[in-house]
Amino acid sequence: MRRLFKLMLVLAIMVSTGYALYRIGEETRIVEKLRSPDPEAFRKLAWAELDARQLKPGMPVFIRIFKQSSELELWLKGKNGWELYRTVEICNWSGGLGPKLKEGDKQSPEGFYTVTKGRLNPNSRHHLSFNLGFPNRYDRSLGRTGSFLMVHGGCSSIGCYAVRDHQVEVIYRLVEAALDNGQQSVRVHAFPFRLEQAALDRHKGTKWHDFWAMLKQGYDVFEREREVPRVRVADKSYVVN
């Protein structure tokens, strides 16, 4: 009886310290290593992982994109504030570091964008997709052009950010659930790289340094305060509150 009690106590401690979460997370990683995981099966496993972390579909969503490292961060806002749920590999994006300037330049955009319900595309030929809203007001103030700049499935890109189908299944469904649950728009911040001062300084004197320094204001607010900044456009510039 004493041994049984000790075993039960050990199991309780393992669960309370995240063992159960570890197992679910490990299963998610194992499935993800498959060449072509089934998107629906992967989503169900991801939902179990959410539940284990006391997160759920319908919570507010925030997305950050980093070109240089080909990463998409998926943040959810729970009872303790914004929490990084998953970092997803971007399997393809177009062009080089720097903003998109015109239709056909095959360049993925950088800047502050928003996704609304009308920008969701459940019938995409790339499994699922949502439009970033390029050109936004800032882009238009500079005469920049382009259309249908998406986050989508598959691994092809002529200006979009592409992730694998099983990953876009999770990203899209969380964005969709957040919008259905009352979030007015999901903000997507697309950066060339993580805009730490040392990284920015390495690009001093380059063409896009001043543009990236402007983006850094928004990057810094979230890094410092873990609050998604409010961004507006004035005098052909982003203004971060």
Residue 128: burial class (beta carbons within 10 Å; 0-12, 13-18, 19+): buried
* Measured distance between the N- and C-terminal CA atoms of the chain, rounded to whole angstroms: 62
Q: In what order do the strands lie in the sheet with 61-66?
A: 81-89, 71-78, 61-66, 186-191, 111-115
CA distances from 113 to 36, 63, 133, 176, 215 (A): 30, 10, 6, 16, 12
The type of residue at 9 is L
Quickly count: other Cβ atoms within 10 Å of residue 22's Cβ: 12
Catalytic residues: 152, 160
Quickly count: other Cβ atoms within 10 Å of residue 90's Cβ: 22
Distant-in-sequence, close-in-space partners of 18: CB < 8 Å, separation ≥ 6: none
**Structure letter (DSSP) for residue 119:** G
CA distance 110 to 139: 10
Quickly count: other Cβ atoms within 10 Å of residue 113's Cβ: 26
In the chain, at which residue ranges do the beta strands (DSSP E only) sit? 61-66, 71-78, 81-89, 92-93, 111-115, 120-121, 129-131, 150-152, 161-162, 186-191, 231-234, 237-240
